[in-house]
Structure 1
């Protein structure tokens, strides 16, 4: 299995709205996948932008996500994922989870951490 390069910069912290999420497109270290990056203050989480239900993107428009309370909601079929751990708590893929990505914060930059590719 390939390893994600330790030199993969995703974005700057200020490019992610506090309390919100954005998409980083065409991440070369992940074979061009789209990545969801969510932020609360200085805490950042990331997942592949792929719903486990049907393999479609979660955003309703490029980089735009449905967020309600602690949930990230798939715009296609309404699957609702806990923003803390990526577990689907409601919808057609209940109990499944988004593919989490390990991150490193380096100052005000968000980097993919070296790890096996999902």
Structure 2
């Protein structure tokens, strides 16, 4: 997980309802002082977030901004090289970077808004 500076804490990213349950979206946020693309995954009232960067080649995971490929088992698939990542923990379960992980970013849902935690 990335450490957040005090001014970054609780920065609203988007409304929880803007993400379909079981779906993904992409947002931009300041993480460690740098503007980063984040991939958000919603499961009920919880949201998980990772940097939108494949550990294999450093490319974005989405095939178009905010559009992510999913396997039949629900894993997210890197559009560039086909690596599959578990939505439970970001672990690469298949492909060229098997065993590596996406870099998680702590988020929370506060008053219906997804915020950096």
User: TM-score normalized by structure 2?
Assistant: 0.89
Q: Distance in 2 between matches of 1:20 and 1:88?
A: 19
Could you tell me how far 1:2 is from its partner in structure 2?
Answer: 6.4
In structure 1, runs of 5+ residues without a counterpart are: 114-118
Q: Which runs of 5+ in 2 are unaligned?
A: none
Q: Deviations over 1:15-49 (max 9, x none)?
A: 11111100003x13451110000011112100000
RMSD value, Cα: 1.6
Distance change >3 Å, CA 95–CA 33, structure 1 → 2 = same
Residues 56-95 of structure 1 correspond to what in structure 2 (within 5 A)?
A: 56-68=59-71, 69-95=73-99
Deviates more, 1:51-60 or 1:64-73: 64-73
Find the counterpart in structure 2 of residue 55 from structure 1: 58
In structure 1, distance between residues paired with 2:74 and 2:3: 33
Number of positions where the alignment pairs a residue of Structure 1 with one of Structure 2: 112
